[in-house]
Amino acid sequence: MSHELRTPLNAILGFTQLLERNTNLPQEAQQHLAIIHRSGEHLLTLINQVLDLSKIEAGYVALNNSTFDLLTLLDEIKDMFYLQAQQKGLALIFEHGPDVPVCIYTDKLKLRQILINLLNNALKFTQTGHIEVHISRLTESIAEENKKLPHCRLYFEVKDTGPGIHKDELDKIFEAFVQGSNGTHTVEGTGLGLPISRSLVKLMDGELTATSTPGVGSTFSFDLLVQIAEAEERISLGIDFVHENPVSEAQYTRDTYTEAMLIKDLREMPEIWRKDLETATILLNAQAVEKTLAEATEQAPELIEALRKLVDTFDYKKILTLLQQSKEMNNEQQ
């Protein structure tokens, strides 16, 4: 089902993005393309979220834990929303307590999705003021029980100065396709971000709650039990703390492969290779995409692994965006 829904829409978005680069088109045509692009992106978001929620409700979503740098993840998410916040004149503040562990073992992708969903909501509904993300470490109660596998519970808060939510609507906003009355007529959205986030937090043995004061703002908070894994210990011991399998330094490096590193590696690839990948991606030619990626597996294994993950999740638009960013950065240096 996901192929039947996503593939045609990705083709529409890909060709629309290609046409938007044509500077010879009249302004009216460019405006029409922009509308098609925005509408397609909204529909793709809705499809992705409906499929995600369906998989969660059917019990097909499982945890995929790994060790990663929490602070690097937070920096990446902040960078993702920085320009959007700046354009709206909002301050975007990320803070964490001094005792928050740098390196943790939990499901990175699901934690990332939860924070992105909450920040997306905060940015959509907040017109003035600021958005804050706070991470703190709660009192440890189980760390002493097994010093070989220390755990702690982290507490995440996403605060905004938006219109707020009425008290009688706080529980309803976690239902699918529901928005608070303050945003129903002013903000475009699917009403699925919060239900998905609450389900993912529950899957990770936590709880997502909300508090709000109309006219002041809202706070969404959740707690997660995570395993502490210091990077230095992990690399020096060569041990995965949970499964006790050998872990190399190269494996740890792959876990912390950032988008900035991906773009840097893309810029270093031959121009003809990047053009081949762009053409195959726009045409949604899976065989050509895989052939192009396979050609560079030995030359740039981390890059190819990251791009294959985007292909696996049908995020062809992201691949095209990354290629465009790398091209623009190379042109600036010429």
In the predicted model, what is the mean pLDDT of residues 93-104? 90
In this prediction, residue 134 carries a pLDDT of 95
In this prediction, residue 190 carries a pLDDT of 56
In the predicted model, what is the mean pLDDT of residues 22-47? 81
Q: Single out the residue of 85, 113, 91, 64 nearest to residue 222, CA to CA.
A: 113
Q: Which residues pair with 131 in a beta bridge?
A: 92, 160
In this prediction, residue 177 carries a pLDDT of 57
> Considering the chain, what percentage of its residues have pLDDT values greater than 90?
25
In this prediction, residue 3 carries a pLDDT of 61
Longest dimension (CA), the chain: 69
**Average pLDDT taken over every residue of the chain:** 79
- Asked whether the predicted pLDDT for residue 219 surpasses 90, the reply is yes
Q: Return the higher-pLDDT residue of 192 and 307.
A: 307
Which tokens hold the place of 70?
């929490």
In this prediction, residue 208 carries a pLDDT of 94
What is the CA 230 to chain-centroid distance, rounded?
24
From residue 91, give the alpha-carbon distance in Å to each of 86, 134, 309, 328, 332.
7, 14, 32, 27, 29
Q: Is 227 left (phi over 0), alpha (psi -120 to 50) or beta?
A: beta
